[in-house]
Structure 1
Amino acid sequence: MDILNMDACAQSAALEKGELSATELMEATLARIEAVNPTVNGIVNLADGDRLLAKAREADNAPRSGWLHGMPIAIKDLANAAGFPTSRGSPLFAGEVAETDDLMVSRLRAAGAIVIGKTNTPEFGLGSHTFNPVHGATRNPYDITRSAGGSSGGAAAALATGMLSIADGSDMMGSLRNPAGWNNVYGMRPTWGSVPADPVGDMFMHQLATSGPMARSPADLAALLDIMTGSDPRVPFSSNSPATFTKIDEAPKKLRIGWLGDWDGAFPYEDGIDEISQAAMGKFADLGHRTETLKAPFDADAMWQSWIDLRSFAVAGGLQADYADEARRAYLKPAALWEIERGLQMSAKDVLHASNVRSDWFRRTTRLFESHDVLVLPSAQLWPFDVDWTYPETIAGHAMDTYHRWMQVVVPAGLIGLPVVNVPVGFGANGLPAGIQLIGPRGSDAALLQLAQQWHGATHWPQERPPKI
C-alpha cells in the first residue's frame, strides 16, 4: 500500500493497530518531501531528518496520546511552533525561532502530532498567492508554472502531493478555500470563534481571521477540526462546538441549496468557472438535494467597502509598529503598506460604518438561511494564474483595482464569520482544478461536513486525480 496516499484517519488506524509504525511513516514522508518539495516548495524550515526519525521512534515506544499520535504535520508559517522559525514570509522575522507553541499548535502536539517543519505562505499572509522574499513561491503541483493559491498555499500543495496527510491553515480572505480549490483538496473555514486565537494583543476588535483544517477528505477535516476547536477561558468569543467526526458519515437530510452565481454580475468569472460550478450544483441535485439559483441578496459594493475597511483596520493594528520604524518599513511589501496606510487614516466613524454594513449583511443572511440550508459560490473567480505574477490585474476583461479584488467571491462568508467548506469539483479544459464554497449559518459546521462527505463519496476527486509529479 502507498501509505502516503492514505487518508489521515486511515494512517492513524494503521498506526493504532500496529500495521504501520510512526518510523515507517516518517521515513516515507521524508522521502516524498525530498522527491517533490524542491519542485513545488510547499514545506519550508524542515527539521533535521535524523531528529525527526528519533521522534518517530519515541512515538512508536510511547502510549498513544491521541489520534494524531506519531503522524507528521507541518505548521503554516504564520503560527508559532516551538523550536521552528516563524518568518511570516518576511525578512523582518526570518530566522526568529519560536520559544513556545501557539494555542492551536499545542493542541495538535497534545494529540500526538510530530511537527516536522512549516508550510509556505505569502508575506504576512497578505494575498491569495503564496510567494515571499524569504522562501520564494509555492508552485501548483498540477502545473508548476501556476500559483498554488494562498495564503495556505504551501499546506495545500503539500497535501496534494502526499507530503502531508493533514494540515492546518488560516483564513481571513479565502486562505483555506482558494488554495484548497486550486490543489484539488478540502479546506474548511470554521465558524468564527470555534478555533480560538492566541490570547495576545487585542482580542475584541478584529473578528475576521480564523485557523482551520485542510485535508484530502471531509472525514479528516472533521477529525482535525475536533482537535482545533474548543473554548479557552483566556479568549473572549471562543466557543465549544459539538464534535463533528463522530457523525461525519450520517447522510444529510434533503437540503435546500442556493447557488449565488456571479452575484448579479458583480463578480466577474474567468471562462469555465461558472460552468464547472453549475455542473457541481447539478451533482448535488442528483444526490437528492433541492437546488436553485438566487438573486444577489445584498449590495456587493457596500459589502466590499465594509470588508476592505475592516481588513485594513485589522492589518494596520498588527503591523503599525513595523511601519513606524522607517528601517523596518523598507522591508514591507506594497500590499502591506497599502493596507497599513489605509488603516491608519481611518476614523472611528469609518470603522463603525463598516461594522454597521457588516451587521446589516449578517441580518440578511439570517433570513436567507430560513429558506436555504446552504449557499454556494466558487472558491475563486479564475483558474490558477502564472506563478510569476504578483496578482491578476484583470478577470474576463474587468480591471482589478486592488491586489485582492480578484478574491471578492470569498468576502460574503468571511466578513461575518460563517463556516465554509471548499469541496473540489473537478478540472477545466486547461487541466487545472477548481472548487466551490459550501456556506452555512453559524454553528452548522457538522452539517456542512456531512454534506461534503456525501459529495466526497460520490466524487473522490483527490484520490481520482492526484497530480502527476
Structure 2
Amino acid sequence: MRADTQPLRSGADLGGSSGGSAVAVASGMVPLAHGTDFGGSVRTPASFCGVASIRPTPGRIALPRRPLGWDMLATHGFLARGVDDLELALSVCAGSDPHDPLSLGSTDDDRPVPDRARIAVTPDFGVAPVAREARARFAAACEALARVADVVPSSPDCGGAIETFRTLRAAHIANAYGELLRTRRAELTPTVIWNIEAGAKLSAQNYLDAERRRTAIYRSFRQLFTRADFLVAPAASVLPWPNEIADVTAIDGAALETPIDYLAVTFIVSLVGFPVLTVPVPRGENVLPFGMQIVAPPGCESRLFAFGRVLENELGFSHRRPPL
C-alpha cells in the first residue's frame, strides 16, 4: 500500500493488532473493519493509515463470555473511512447482556453538541513520551480546531498512569497467556515473554495499588469533563516508522523503559475506560498519516460521532485515499 506517493511505513504490525484491519480499510479493500483495542491497537493503526476509528465505552458491546466480567481494559472497536460508518457499525453491535456486568449500565448520552464545543487539548497527558514531529502535527491540528471550538490546553492528572497500566497489563497478560509461556515459549515474541514474566512477579498488593491509582486518574478525568465537552490528544506518539524496525525503543533519542511505553498516549485512555473517536488530521502531498483522539465521558458515543462529523465536513479531518 502507498500513502500518497511514498510507501506507507509502519511497525511490524502497523502499530497494533488491528493493523491489517486498518490497511484493508485505508486501501479500499473493505469499507469497515473490526478490531480490538487494549492499549491502542485500534487507534494507533488508524493514525498510521489515515482512517477513523472508535473505541467505545467498555460494555457498549456486550461480551457475555468474557472470563473476567469487570475487565474494562480491552474492548471491541471499529475502523472505517468515515464517522458515519463507525456510528452504523456500533449501532448494530451495541447492546446489553445479563451475563456481562459492564453492559448493564451502558447507556447513550445523545445530547446535542454545543455550537462551539469546549475542547481541552493535551499533547501528552503530562506524562506520555511523544515525538517532536507528532507534537508539531498535533499543534497544527489544534490550531484548526479553534475555528469550530473553544480550545484550552488542559489535562487530567495522569501522574503514575504509565506505571499503573504496565502493572495491570502485565497481570492480565500473565493470566491469559501464562500457560503458553510454559508450553510454547519458543513461539512467543520477546515482548510477550517479557510481559508474562513481569506479570508473574506481581503481588496482590501491587495489583491493588495500581487499581487505587487508576481510580484516582478516572476521577481526575471526570473532573476535567465538568469544564470541557471533549478532550483531544494525539492518536500516536510517533509517525509510522520503517517496517524493518520491530519496536519503538526510543523517542527523539530518549530510551523508553519498556516496549509498550510508546503507546502511553493511547493506553492512558484505556486505563479509565472513556470512549474515544480517532480521526485523521489533514495532510499535504507526501506527508505521512497522523490522527488525533477525541475523548468523551462514558456513554457519549453519539456526541463523539456528531462532533466527528463537524470535523470531517468543516475542517477536512477525513480519510485521504492513497493512489494504488
Q: Find the counterpart in structure 2 of residue 342 from structure 1.
A: 198
Q: Find the counterpart in structure 1 of residue 161 from structure 2.
A: 303
Q: Find the counterpart in structure 2 of residue 292 from structure 1.
A: 152
Q: Find the counterpart in structure 2 of residue 277 from structure 1.
A: 138
For 2:176, what is the secondary structure of its paired residue?
helix
Q: Distance in 1 between matches of 2:21 and 2:192?
A: 22
8 Å contact kept, 1:268–1:398: no
Q: Distance in 1 between matches of 2:56 and 2:122?
A: 20
8 Å contact kept, 2:59–2:106: no
Go from structure 1 to structure 2 and tell me whether the alpha carbon gap of 1:455 and 1:239 turns closer, same or farther (over 3 Å shift): farther
Letter in 2 for 1:176: V
For 1:370, what is the secondary structure of its paired residue?
coil
8 Å contact kept, 1:140–1:146: no
* Residue 209 (structure 2) pairs with residue 353 (structure 1): yes
Q: CA deviation at 1:232?
A: 1.3
- The gaps in structure 1 that reach 5 residues or longer are 1-39, 41-138
Q: Distance in 2 between matches of 1:275 and 1:323?
A: 41
Q: CA deviation at 1:310?
A: 0.3
Letter in 2 for 1:410: T
Q: Distance in 1 between matches of 2:93 and 2:302?
A: 14
Q: Please give the root-mean-square deviation of Cα atoms over the aligned residues, in Å.
A: 2.3
Letter in 2 for 1:431: V
Go from structure 1 to structure 2 and tell me whether the alpha carbon gap of 1:163 and 1:262 turns closer, same or farther (over 3 Å shift): same
Q: Find the counterpart in structure 2 of residue 209 from structure 1.
A: 74
Q: Find the counterpart in structure 1 of residue 94 from structure 2.
A: 229
Q: CA deviation at 1:382?
A: 1.0
Q: Find the counterpart in structure 2 of residue 143 from structure 1.
A: 7
Q: CA deviation at 1:317?
A: 0.9
Q: Which stretch of structure 1 is more off in the superposition, 338-347 or 194-203?
A: 194-203
Q: Find the counterpart in structure 1 of residue 119 from structure 2.
A: 257
- The gaps in structure 2 that reach 5 residues or longer are none
Q: Distance in 2 between matches of 1:169 and 1:456?
A: 22
Go from structure 1 to structure 2 and tell me whether the alpha carbon gap of 1:239 and 1:274 turns closer, same or farther (over 3 Å shift): same
Go from structure 1 to structure 2 and tell me whether the alpha carbon gap of 1:359 and 1:200 turns closer, same or farther (over 3 Å shift): closer
Q: Distance in 2 between matches of 1:267 and 1:359?
A: 19
Q: Find the counterpart in structure 2 of residue 313 from structure 1.
A: 171
Go from structure 1 to structure 2 and tell me whether the alpha carbon gap of 1:458 and 1:404 turns closer, same or farther (over 3 Å shift): same
Q: Find the counterpart in structure 1 of residue 49 from structure 2.
A: 183
Q: CA deviation at 1:151?
A: 1.9
8 Å contact kept, 1:143–1:432: no
Q: CA deviation at 1:347?
A: 0.9
Letter in 2 for 1:372: A
Q: Distance in 2 between matches of 1:200 and 1:286?
A: 43
Within 5 Å, give how 1:18-167 maps onto structure 2.
40=1, 143-147=7-11, 148-167=14-33
Go from structure 1 to structure 2 and tell me whether the alpha carbon gap of 1:226 and 1:240 turns closer, same or farther (over 3 Å shift): farther
Q: CA deviation at 1:270?
A: 2.4
Task: Give the structure with higher Rg (CA).
Answer: 1
Q: Please report the TM-score for the alignment, with normalisation by the length of structure 1.
A: 0.64
8 Å contact kept, 2:282–2:316: no
8 Å contact kept, 1:276–1:428: no
Q: Distance in 1 between matches of 2:182 and 2:276?
A: 36
Go from structure 1 to structure 2 and tell me whether the alpha carbon gap of 1:355 and 1:403 turns closer, same or farther (over 3 Å shift): same
For 2:78, what is the secondary structure of its paired residue?
strand
Q: CA deviation at 1:432?
A: 0.3
